[in-house]
Amino acid sequence: MNGWLLGAGIAAAAVAAVHVIAGHVDPVRPLLDSALPDVPKRTMHVVWHWVSVDLVLTAITLIVLAVAEPSGTELVALLTALHFAAYSVVFVVIAAALPGPRRLLRLPQWILLAPIALLAFVGAA
């Protein structure tokens, strides 16, 4: 068993749970109640669900890789690590462009995503 990948998978599952529960309350409800036109509103709603599915599937992937260690584990773990690293970078770049102090803490999702990337990178080695 690969403990690094298991840790990454458990962390990813926790992030998926936070996303589904808190994300529905914080950004999704206000979005759906907003005056945005229906097409952009529903497009953003779809994107939120895509991310939910993505987080759940990557958590499952990391846990299966950790437990079963099938052929190709290193490559899939590396690609999954890059996936979470890219998510982290996107949040940091967009948060850094926000006005005012403590910008990186206004979109703190990268704080949850970066450790998953790091654990998966180490587990892929």
Sorted by where each begins, the domain ranges of the chain are 3-124
The overall average pLDDT reported for the chain is 96
Quick check: 24 pLDDT over 90?
A: no
Are the C-beta atoms of residues 85 and 28 closer than 8 Å to each other? no
Are the C-beta atoms of residues 79 and 57 closer than 8 Å to each other? no
The pLDDT, as a whole number, for residue 27 is 87
Q: What percent of the chain has pLDDT over 70?
A: 100
3-23 vs 109-124: helix crossing angle, rounded to 10: 160
pLDDT, tens digit, for every residue of 74-99? 999 999 999 999 999 999 999 999 99
Are the C-beta atoms of residues 89 and 119 closer than 8 Å to each other? no
The pLDDT, as a whole number, for residue 5 is 98
Instruction: Determine the Cα–Cα distance for residues 74 and 55; give it in Å rounded to an integer.
Output: 19
Quick check: 103 pLDDT over 90?
A: yes
Q: Which of 7-16, 20-29, 34-43, 104-113 has the lowest mean pLDDT?
A: 20-29
Quick check: 64 pLDDT over 90?
A: yes
- Give the distance from CA 67 to its chain's centroid: 21
Closest CA to 59 of 3, 6, 112: 6
Quick check: 23 pLDDT over 90?
A: no
Per-residue tokens: 75: 């490559």
